[in-house]
Amino acid sequence: MLIQAADNPLIKELAGLHDAAGRRAAGAFLVEGRRAIAGLLAAGWSPLRLCIREGEEQPVGWPMAIVLGERAAKRASAASTPSGYLASFALPDPGPLDPAAGGLILAGVADPGNLGTLLRTAAAFAVGQVACLGGADPFGGKTVQASAGAIAAVRLFRPQSWSAFSGGASLTALVPRGGAAPPLPAGPRWLVVGGEADGIPAEGLAVCSGQLSLPMPGSAVESLNAAVAGAIALWEVFGRAGVRSA
């Protein structure tokens, strides 16, 4: 099947997933890029729509794709430079949040690239639950692409308040300075990583029973990028524990 027209109903359907409101209304999200799509397919996810730009290679083992002409592919894509590969998937139902199990809380992480990197890192260290309080949409196109398909390996939650974690594992805030140095005592916990500009909001810090700061002996740097600091902290809290138990 070849679609050339940019106003084709299927193309309009895919273009409607470019913004958060459209994703919520459709119950679906858009994934662009061969690598990101391959990651979700390998995890057993089935696409609602799978499209490849005319002239691009059909990867071995992929479901049969709809072929898009240049104009249709450009309209369907949210990227400034379309990769030629895009698919839509149903928004997953993560089930109930388990406050006692702990995981990662991302409080106001607004940069999609940072958010996607942190989701990918969480998946690498087998962090099963990730809760996003404010910040970028984890199912936005740039976030999904930066996660390289790792969203299939974590359960993503969008709680409305910090009360969702009441009565569960302790919360540990990642702060630039003044917190405890790693390693932390073993046991389930929520690691809280704040946004790029403002860090963890006051109401979040108020419910954290502990704070973690990464040692930074270099005097020329006051703080690290949210994704870099979060990735190191994820290793300290979850990755190092996995090595000890191996």
Domains of the chain with bracketed CATH: 2-90 (3.30.1330.30), 99-245 (3.40.1280.10)
Q: Is 200 helix (H, G, I), strand (E, B) or coil?
A: coil
Distance CA 240, CA 55 (A): 45
Cβ–Cβ contacts within 10 Å for residue 189, how many?
22
> Could you tell me if 150 and 39 are in contact, meaning their C-beta atoms sit under 8 angstroms apart?
yes
Low-confidence ranges of the chain (pLDDT < 50): 243-246
Tokens of 80: 């400034």
pLDDT at 76: 97
Task: Report, in angstroms and rounded to the nearest whole number, the Rg of the chain calculated over CA atoms.
Answer: 20
pLDDT digit string, tens, across residues 16-57: 999 999 999 999 999 999 999 998 999 999 999 999 999 999
Among 105, 103, 112, smallest CA distance to 138 is for 112
Please tell me the predicted confidence (pLDDT) of residue 217. Answer: 80
User: What's residue 220's pLDDT?
Assistant: 64
What letters, b where the CB count within 10 A reaches 16 and e where it falls short, cover 196-234? eeebbeeebbebbeebbbbeeeeeeeeebebbebbbbbb
**So what's the pLDDT on residue 44?**
94
